Structure 1
Amino acid sequence: MEFHSHRILLIDDDVTLCDGLSQLLNNEGYFVESFHYAKPALEVCKIKPYHLIIIDLMISDMDGYSFLQELRRTDQTPVIVLTAKGEESDRIHGLEYGADDYIAKPFNSRELLLRIKAILKRTAPDILINQNSAFGKFSLDAHHHSITYRNTLLELTGAEYTILKSLILAQGNVISRELLTEQALGRKLTPFDRALDTHISNLRAKLAHDACDKPVIRSKRGSGYYLVEAAAN
């Protein structure tokens, strides 16, 4: 067994599933703390750091959307949402509230482990790139895992940070949707996967100071996304 030393918070009111998933993650070398209610877990997040949070959307005392909304006010820990809802709109709704990834129940254990590893890999400290990269009004501090825009620190999810970091490092060049999906979500882009587009939409909203701002993240049909130095007047 490989010891990862990563701390994972698991929140699911299905006791049997929670126990089984905790055992699975423990066997993979992760340190896991589990809760069957969302509210006490939210309080613990305020005083104890985690590398990843896994939460079921349908928790009896607080739905997953509300948990995400409350968590994202102060905490940017990556979140994987477990959902029994198969509708794409439900999954997108979770991403809009700040989830980094989602996986539908019943899920394949190997797929979940691969997604966990992908998220933890991309949210690890960036030590191979210049920690003070800039483009236009963006400033990337990879060492502190942060980005400022117009001299304001952005509140970003893990996926949003990775997407924006990649675009900044590209210095205005187009990055394909396929590559961004692999870098930000740790998986191959599939024909009906709209998770990347949802993250881009959320980023655009965070970067717009008012309704008149034109997006600084632009798309090139059939190619991908790129940054412009400043929104056009």
Structure 2
Amino acid sequence: MSGFLGEWTSSAIVAVMILLSVGISYVLDRRSGNAVESLGKRVQSRAHVIRNGVEVEVPLSELVPGDIVQLQAGSVIPADLRLISAKDFFVSQASLTGETIPVEKSADAGDADHVAILELRNACFQGSSVSSGSARAVVVNTGSRTFFGSIAERLNEEREETNFDKGIRSFTMLMIRFMVVMVSAVFLIVGLSKGNWLESLFFSLSVAVGLTPEMLPMIVTVNLAKGALKMA
């Protein structure tokens, strides 16, 4: 708008600010992304597997159903497993169930009828970790076929709009309508009172730019007060 109206100095300043903002953001995001990717390549979880009677250490990506895995305190469950043998074996399933207390597992299936899959005594699932004890287990499912992998796939699907999303959209539309009303009113009032319509246009645009940061504290305060009253 400044360039269209001949305000080349203002236009150049705004353009430089936009380029700097976008450029710095892009460079930093790219650097952080590359750093995370490089770290992911360096730090790879491995599992102790018994193949041909010999215990070897292999990356998790090379596990296949049927592999025999050796587990001990501190180990990460590398796939969905069925226990063959266990000794004082406790597993933390907090990432799957939210329960912080470790669950005891054993090779004995027990009464598996009418039991949730995560409560099976002789089953361990990817995403959990060994708290104490030792065990030997056979790999049943790997990758996206694991219980944890199925959750990840569902999360990647198109999600439904939440109340938070609706609230953000509602707030955005409220601000846009408020801007249209305020900008129009300020433009007409300043233009009619001073007779300088160009100055009135710039002033009304500056009001529109400043509305969101100026009104945000007030809106947050009102919503916090309203929420406190509801909770009370």
Name the TM-score class by shorter chain.
under 0.3
Could you tell me the TM-score, scaled by structure 2's length?
A: 0.25
Q: Which structure carries more relative contact order (alpha carbon 8 Å, separation 6+)? A: 2
- TM-score w.r.t. length of structure 1: 0.25
Higher radius of gyration, 1 or 2: 2
Give the helix-richer structure, 1 or 2.
2
